Amino acid sequence: MDILTRSLVILTTALTFSLGLGFPVSGPQDSLAQDALTAVTIGQFMQGLHDVIQQLETSAHSLIDQGNIALGQQQMLLAGILQQTLDKVGSTYAKALNTTFGQLSVAEQNSFSQLYETINKMKDLEAHTASDVQAIVYQTQGAANQLLDRLPFVDKYPVFFGAAVRDLTLNPDQQPSDIELLGFHWTDPKISKNPVISVGGDLVPPNLVSVREDRVEVQIPDSTKHKIGFGNLPCDPRKTFPISIKVFDTEAKGFWPIQWSSEREFDFNANALPGAQLFDVKVGYSGTRSTQALQAVSYSQKSGWIGAGCEETNNASVRYEAPAGATEIQCAAAWVDTAGVKSVSQNCAVGGAIITAAGSITGRDRQCLPGIGGLFGRKSTCNCPGGAHGWLQVAGSFKVPMTTTEQIHNASVGEYALREGSSASVTLPFDSTVVLASVAINISKKQCPTEYDRIDINAPGNPVQQVNQNSENGFFSSTLWNNQLTVFNVR
């Protein structure tokens, strides 16, 4: 159970006990005896109401900081209505705080009961729709006004609860006016004088002001809208602007039989909520990425020139040393650029990074003609037309690890939301293969395409060295350390 709900339970219990209405209450209070209902005093009720107001205000400020300005504004209105009611109850019963509700008049009890019923609907406000919360605001105001009207005041005078601004509501199209002012006793039937409204220092013409007993609806002139930036556009969010209200009523003077009334003025002032500004933060980085992969390399190596005469055989060898780290070494041996060859042989072998080939080359046969004398018992005559020659070659391939360096330019890290006055932390998503050169941070107002500010960080050679950098326009600062980026909004 959250704090606001607990406070509501306390107040609900107080009202249930005091009025004896039997409303359902959750929590440990259910077991209390019925004969204790009238024991709760006005002072205890006021303390419960005070707790509810505090939690409404805390919740409203939290919602505004988170950017939920519409619901925050409505909760501030609820807190304002209850606070003014609490103040008037406190001043009315200042000397009777120990009085129980059972000792009040039936009309007063009924008014407190109606206020209770409305407050009990405030549980889980964030789960309600915008129209539901708006209805609760109006119901709370109605119950508070009825209670104020029945309190035994010596003198009734205007009370200001708060203002709702259309461009901060969840459904602005359903809001009939630009500004709605909620209060009590806004008009006095004894005089026909409507409240006077000023917005942003400009007087609002009477024809743009609609006055009821408990609220005033105001249409802002176009010239004033332009002045205060009314509309709350993403690229031009509205700032705080003042609202002034002057209310008139009459005050009875003198004593019977000589009595008269005089006019008096009440001035109220409010500031329209601007809400917390939200920003979109886009982070990118530049640098280099080095990767290693096995790359195939071809090689070939020849022996020196090898010659062999006719019917002569000579041997040859050749050696090639692959670079360190070479793997998957392949070899093949062959005789190349040969001539006058009768036959060749060759083979190769790999030992570690050493590739060797060995082979032999044999020259062709002599050409012999039997001599004339040979026919008569003389020997033949032989001739060698030319010896053999060639080169023994070893060739093949191997694989070695090769480092490839890739340039990275403004690679996207991601988009992040940043609330006014807060910070956002981002871990740059890369490993030791990346050498960071710079980080670029583009900042815009929420849902606005126009750049609002930017930060450019030159990365240090040592990633664990901390770098601090302010934005170009001075609205933000940043810290980069060990690939961890933090962006701060400077109010």
What confidence tens digit (pLDDT) does each residue in 170-189 have?
A: 565 556 789 999 999 888 88
Residue 136 · residue 142 · CB < 8 Å: no
pLDDT of the chain, 491 residues: tens digit per residue: 344 444 444 455 444 433 333 333 333 333 332 233 356 788 888 888 898 899 888 888 888 777 777 788 888 989 999 999 999 888 888 888 888 877 888 788 788 888 877 887 777 776 777 778 888 888 899 989 988 888 876 577 889 999 988 877 656 555 678 999 999 988 888 888 899 999 999 999 999 999 987 899 999 999 999 888 887 777 887 888 999 999 998 887 878 778 778 889 999 999 988 766 889 999 999 999 999 899 999 999 999 999 999 999 999 999 999 998 899 999 999 999 999 999 999 999 999 999 999 999 999 998 887 765 555 555 577 888 888 999 999 999 999 999 899 999 999 999 999 988 889 999 998 888 899 999 999 999 988 999 999 999 999 888 889 999 999 999 999 999 999 999 999 86
CA dihedral 459, 465, 471, 474 (to 10 degrees): -160
Residue 405 has which token pair?
């360096």
pLDDT value, residue 370: 72
Which 8-state DSSP code applies to residue 37? G
Residue 421 has which token pair?
């006055």
What confidence tens digit (pLDDT) does each residue in 395-418 have?
A: 999 999 998 999 999 999 999 999
Q: Which residue type, as a one-letter code, is found at position 235?
A: C
The whole-angstrom separation of Cα 335 and Cα 316 is 10
**Domain segments of the chain as ranges:** 1-154, 187-275, 280-290+406-489, 293-367+382-401
pLDDT value, residue 151: 82
pLDDT value, residue 128: 73
Residue 217 has which token pair?
């609806």
Q: Looking only at Cα atoms, what is the longest distance across the chain? A: 186
Residue 362 has which token pair?
């044999």
pLDDT value, residue 490: 86
Helix, coil or strand: residue 247: strand
Indicate yes or no: pTM above 0.85: no
Residue 179 · residue 220 · CB < 8 Å: yes
Q: Which residue type, as a one-letter code, is found at position 218?
A: V
pLDDT value, residue 299: 97
pLDDT value, residue 319: 96
